[in-house]
């Protein structure tokens, strides 16, 4: 492989798939990293595998971390997923779909793999516009993690610092979708729902409502299958 190596966090959702398309368009050899972490929406892993193949990923690693043993989130525990919330309601508090420490855990593993691969670049799909109040989706968090990464790794202290890329950080969902369409992303392959009904998205959780709103704003039909729209 002659292309510059990068690790791309790939959940199988709309945002991470768009990030993969961006990294690939920039000429990186993309090593995709996904997690089976005890999430109720495990269908996203099936989508991640398909998407990694579709984008000719250099590698696709799926790590198993049982965060359901810790619990504390509607995505990993017996806690009801909020439904039918307005944008104003979504912005009021950190929702119960927040998974404690998830992005810290995911980035730590991405960092470890990147160091083994000799990859200085890590891509992830966090976003401060449509982020549902998650504290680990803010630029302050990413800046702090990057500093820690370069203080606590062999690569960082020997002159090969890591660069964390969050190309969607300041984009609206509409802008993300339009960017992905420009890069040829097939959004019918992606899954965003927090509480799917079989292989269909619920259409009512925060993630579904943000996604549907983004497609409407972009003037496009969402190709995902929904139980309720």
* pLDDT at res. 132: 67
Rg, Å, the chain Cα set: 17
The tens place of each residue's pLDDT in the chain, 229 residues long, gives: 468 999 999 999 999 999 999 999 999 999 999 999 999 888 999 999 999 999 999 999 999 999 999 999 999 999 999 999 988 888 888 999 999 999 999 999 999 999 999 999 999 999 998 756 799 999 999 999 999 999 999 999 999 999 999 999 999 999 999 999 999 999 999 999 999 998 899 999 999 999 999 999 999 999 999 998 7
* pLDDT at res. 87: 83
3-state SS record for 120-167: CEEECCCCCCCCCCCHHHCHHHHHHHHHHHHHCCHHHHCCCCCEEECC
What one-character DSSP code corresponds to residue 73? S
Task: Round to whole Å and give the CA distance between 183 and 172.
Answer: 17
* pLDDT at res. 228: 81
Contacts of 155 (CB under 8 A, 6+ apart): 114, 115, 120, 161, 162
What one-character DSSP code corresponds to residue 83? B
Report CA dihedral (165, 171, 175, 179) to the nearest 10 degrees.
-10
Task: Round to whole Å and give the CA distance between 126 and 142.
Answer: 9
* pLDDT at res. 93: 87
Q: What angle do CA 104, 163, 15 make, to 5 degrees?
A: 60
């Amino acid at each position: 492989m002659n292309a510059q190596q990068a690790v791309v966090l790939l959940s199988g959702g709309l945002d991470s798939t768009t990030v993969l398309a961006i990294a690939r368009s920039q000429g990186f050899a993309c090593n995709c990293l996904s997690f089976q972490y005890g999430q109720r929406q495990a269908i996203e892993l099936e989508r991640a595998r398909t998407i990694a193949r579709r984008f000719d990923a250099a590698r696709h690693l799926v790590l198993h971390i049982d965060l359901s043993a810790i619990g504390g989130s509607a995505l990993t525990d017996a806690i009801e997923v909020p439904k039918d919330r307005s944008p104003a309601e979504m912005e009021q508090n950190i929702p119960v779909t927040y998974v404690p420490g998830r992005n810290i855990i995911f980035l730590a593993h991405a960092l470890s793999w990147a160091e083994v691969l000799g990859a200085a670049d890590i891509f992830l799909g966090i976003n401060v516009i449509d982020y549902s109040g998650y504290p680990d989706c803010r630029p302050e968090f990413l800046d702090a993690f990057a500093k820690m990464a370069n203080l606590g790794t062999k690569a960082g202290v020997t002159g090969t610092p890591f660069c964390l890329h969050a190309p969607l950080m300041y984009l609206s969902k509409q802008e993300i979708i339009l960017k992905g369409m420009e890069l040829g992303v097939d959004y019918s392959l992606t899954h965003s729902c927090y509480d799917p009904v079989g292989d269909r998205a619920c259409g009512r959780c925060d993630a579904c409502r943000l996604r549907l709103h983004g497609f409407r704003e972009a003037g496009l039909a969402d190709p995902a299958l929904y139980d309720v729209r």
